[in-house]
């Protein structure tokens, strides 16, 4: 690996474009590995916990190479809110060396004319004030002057009278970094961001942030489902007679296909229904439906057209089945490596990273880059003595043991934990059903005045209000779903949580889809590895993601409690990262008090043992 001149005043020699005076513990090794992999055209797949400074490392290592080769750094992340960290880090690097950065979000979210619930006007007409080519070119040049957040770019373009989306696309040709969503490279519909930038792929370095979600995003992008209600609505609104007959035939067969247990459906079953009725293939019927739409919408007709297009799009790589529990037909893409590998193979290099990319070898396999990647695990830079991880054996989320007695026991344990830490507690459940059952028991036992509860479909404003309550009350208990927004999309900074509790072992329920995924992965990697990839490691990832809510800064201090007997087994213990070590507690209250109130000899700050009858 080539040497880099260190920045003046950089005592640890992180140097180059690294935008900070010194590298954190563990960050230096990550930076060295990233620099080496990018220069040597190797993919780096990194499990890098919170606090590692992943964004600074990745952008530094990538830019130090691409700036010399007139290349492009493509920084991809899954949420618009996560663009902020990339842009802020790019600004720090800009102060070391001027770089041109474009923050690109969706056309709909950048549009200055779109009304809520409608598509962008430019999709159906060029008659828009903001489409003036000269103003767009001028705005594009201004976007390159300094790294701007997408919202800042929108305001600048509004003043300039230029379309923000087209201005950003125009700026790509001269940019050094583009921050964008996964779908700009890993989607069957969107054009490649590299084509729009006019760059050669072998000069591009791809950074995938929060990469633990990339395989799922690709699966969802290539999958589709169809409900009876959508099909019925489409059959009533379509004008073309042949298309209407085909949709009505599908509707007559819908109840037959969705009757009984979940079952696989061959591609030919639906294809035969459509062809026999109107003489068209599913793809041809989809195009007929789309052509009949007066404007692009996301209504029932477009939903049916999307489903028909997906039905045969990926051949044997998709799994088609009927789900009577939801009354839907599904076409699910099952092999994300087929989409990902060709992208990674053409790149100069890539840095694939996340705080829950464990084990990195699994994600390398799922992305189809296992043979051309360096997989690395980095320890958390935070003081391990600030994190107290305990497991409790007397409860379980096993299906056969669920019931009122178990839910009461869980409720009592949560109340005991809250009393022992004397601070905010967030408890994450494997399902909303279990959450609701334990909530009911806690309210029955104590009144529930201190409970904050996540509900399905909760608006962002409601989540923000709950965060305000946590900061104000400091003795609340938050009950949330381990797959919901609070487990990943909400940042509990400033040590707002004293403890995180993972209730149960969050295995996905058995289904025809998981069995099919096990079968496919078994053919590639063997049955034991397939079971770990489909069942064990996804559960571990959920636990790590939820546990990571507790400690967000180097001075934070919190406990993590794993509530299920299975955490005591060697099989489950061995599935976690080496630095995620936990003790099986025989007296959870005493162990928590000893950590949170050591000056009181394991008792609360008032010298008392605690009271499980306080209001929640």
pLDDT on residue 220:
94
pLDDT tens, 81-132? 789 899 999 999 999 999 999 999 988 888 888 776 677 777 767 788 898 9
pLDDT tens, 3-30? 333 333 343 446 789 999 888 878 999 9
- Whether the Cβ atoms of residue 322 and residue 263 lie closer than 8 Å to each other: yes
Handedness of CA 480, 482, 483, 489 (dihedral sign): positive
- In angstroms, rounded to a whole number, what is the distance separating the alpha carbons of residues 103 and 148? 7
Q: What is the CATH number of domain 27-219+336-377?
A: 3.40.50.300
Report the 10 Å Cβ neighbour count for 184: 18
pLDDT tens, 571-590? 999 999 999 999 999 999 99
Segment 139-147 shows an average pLDDT of 97
pLDDT on residue 599:
73
Top pLDDT among 175 and 273 is at 175
Place of tokens 């609070």: 486
Structural tokens at position 64: 């130090």
Q: What is the mean pLDDT of the chain?
A: 89
Top pLDDT among 46 and 287 is at 46
DSSP of 495-511: T--SEEEEES--PPPP-
pLDDT on residue 600:
66
- In angstroms, rounded to a whole number, what is the distance separating the alpha carbons of residues 373 and 162? 42
pLDDT tens, 226-261? 999 999 999 998 888 888 888 888 888 888 888 777
Percent pLDDT > 70 in the chain is: 93
**pLDDT at residue 605 greater than cutoff 70:** no
Q: Is the peptide bond before 359 cis (omega within 30 degrees of 0)?
A: yes
Segment 375-388 shows an average pLDDT of 92
pLDDT band per the 50, 70, 90 thresholds, residue 494: confident
Domains 27-219+336-377 and 384-600 share a fold: yes
Instruction: Name the E strands within 52-127.
Output: 72-77, 101-103
Segment 439-468 shows an average pLDDT of 88
**pLDDT at residue 476 greater than cutoff 50:** yes
pLDDT tens, 322-355? 988 888 999 999 999 999 999 999 999 999 999 9
Tell me how far the alpha carbon of residue 535 is from its chain's centroid. 18
Question: Strand 328-333 and strand 387-392: pairing?
Answer: unpaired
- Whether the Cβ atoms of residue 329 and residue 262 lie closer than 8 Å to each other: no
Where is mean pLDDT largest: 189-203, 287-301, 388-402? 388-402
Contacts (Cβ under 8 Å, ≥6 apart) of 400: none
- In angstroms, rounded to a whole number, what is the distance separating the alpha carbons of residues 615 and 289? 58
Structural tokens at position 508: 């996905």
- Whether the Cβ atoms of residue 102 and residue 96 lie closer than 8 Å to each other: no
Question: Strand 328-333 and strand 318-323: pairing?
Answer: antiparallel
pLDDT band per the 50, 70, 90 thresholds, residue 493: confident
pLDDT on residue 460:
82
- From the candidate CATH numbers 3.40.50.300, 3.90.70.10, 3.40.47.10, 3.60.21.10, the one assigned to the domain spanning 384-600: 3.40.50.300
Element (H or E) spanning 344, and its range? helix 337-346
pLDDT on residue 9:
34
pLDDT band per the 50, 70, 90 thresholds, residue 2: very low
Nearest to 231 by CA among 299, 293, 168: 299
Handedness of CA 401, 403, 409, 411 (dihedral sign): positive
pLDDT band per the 50, 70, 90 thresholds, residue 612: very low
Residue 562, SS3 per DSSP = strand
Question: CA triplet 376, 50, 211: central angle to 5 degrees?
Answer: 60
- Provide the residue ranges of all domains of the chain, joining segments of one domain with +: 27-219+336-377, 223-313, 384-600
Structural tokens at position 286: 């989809």
Contacts (Cβ under 8 Å, ≥6 apart) of 539: 505, 506, 507, 508
Radius of gyration of the chain (CA): 26
Nearest to 282 by CA among 270, 292, 269, 266: 270
Structural tokens at position 233: 């609505």
């Amino acid at each position: 690996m080539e040497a880099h001149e260190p920045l003046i005043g950089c005592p640890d020699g992180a140097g180059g474009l690294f935008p900070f005076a010194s590298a954190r513990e563990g960050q230096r090794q990550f930076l060295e590995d990233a620099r080496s992999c990018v220069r040597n055209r190797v993919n780096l797949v990194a499990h890098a916990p919170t606090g590692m400074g992943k964004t600074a490392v990745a952008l530094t290592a990538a830019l130090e190479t691409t700036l010399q080769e007139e290349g492009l750094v493509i920084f991809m992340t899954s949420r618009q809110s996560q663009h902020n960290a990339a842009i802020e880090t790019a600004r720090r690097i800009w102060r070391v060396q001027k770089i041109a950065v474009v923050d690109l979000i969706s056309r709909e979210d950048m549009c200055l004319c779109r009304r809520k619930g409608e598509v962008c006007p430019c999709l159906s007409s060029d008659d828009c004030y903001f489409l003036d080519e000269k103003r767009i070119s001028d705005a594009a040049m201004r976007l390159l002057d300094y790294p701007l957040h997408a919202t800042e770019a929108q305001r600048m373009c509004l003043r300039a009278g230029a379309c923000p989306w087209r201005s950003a696309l125009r700026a790509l040709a001269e940019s050094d970094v583009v921050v964008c969503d996964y779908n700009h490279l890993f989607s069957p519909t969107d054009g490649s961001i590299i084509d729009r930038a006019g760059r050669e792929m072998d000069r591009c370095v791809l950074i995938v942030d929060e990469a633990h979600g990339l395989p799922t995003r690709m699966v969802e992008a290539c999958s589709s489902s169809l409900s009876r209600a959508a099909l019925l609505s489409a059959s009533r609104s379509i004008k073309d007679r042949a298309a209407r007959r085909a949709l009505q035939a599908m509707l007559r067969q819908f109840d037959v296909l969705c009757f009984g247990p979940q079952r696989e459906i061959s591609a030919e079953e639906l294809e035969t229904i459509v062809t026999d009725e109107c003489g068209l293939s599913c793809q041809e019927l989809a195009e007929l439906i789309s052509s009949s739409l007066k404007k692009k919408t996301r209504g029932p007709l477009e939903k049916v057209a999307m489903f028909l297009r997906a039905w045969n799009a990926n051949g044997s790589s998709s799994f088609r089945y009927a789900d009577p529990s939801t009354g839907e037909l599904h076409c699910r893409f099952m092999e994300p490596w087929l989409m990902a590998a060709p992208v990674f193979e053409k790149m100069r290099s890539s840095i694939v990273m996340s705080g829950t990319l464990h084990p990195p070898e699994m994600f390398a396999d799922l992305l189809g880059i296992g043979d051309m990647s360096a997989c690395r695990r980095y320890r958390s830079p935070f003081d391990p003595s600030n994190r107290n991880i305990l497991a409790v054996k007397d409860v379980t989320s096993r299906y056969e043991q669920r019931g009122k007695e178990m839910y009461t026991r869980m409720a009592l344990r949560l109340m005991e934990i809250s009393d022992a830490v004397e601070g905010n507690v967030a408890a994450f459940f494997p399902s909303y059903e279990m959450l609701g059952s334990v909530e009911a028991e806690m309210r029955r036992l104590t009144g529930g005045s201190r409970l904050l509860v996540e509900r399905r479909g909760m608006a962002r404003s409601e989540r923000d209000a709950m965060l305000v309550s946590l900061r104000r009350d400091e003795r609340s208990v938050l009950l949330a779903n381990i797959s919901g927004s609070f487990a990943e999309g909400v940042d509990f900074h400033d040590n707002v949580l004293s403890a995180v509790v993972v209730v149960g072992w969050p295995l996905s329920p058995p289904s025809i889809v998981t069995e099919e995924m096990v079968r496919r992965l078994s053919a590639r990697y063997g049955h034991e590895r397939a079971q770990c990839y489909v069942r064990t490691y996804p559960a571990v990832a959920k636990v790590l993601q939820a546990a990571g809510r507790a400690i967000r800064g180097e001075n934070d201090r919190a406990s993590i409690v794993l509530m299920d007997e299975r955490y005591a087994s060697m099989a489950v213990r061995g599935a976690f990262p080496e630095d995620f070590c936990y003790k099986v507690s025989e007296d959870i209250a005493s162990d928590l008090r000893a950590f949170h109130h050591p000056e009181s000899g394991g008792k609360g700050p008032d010298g008392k043992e605690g009271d499980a009858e306080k209001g929640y």
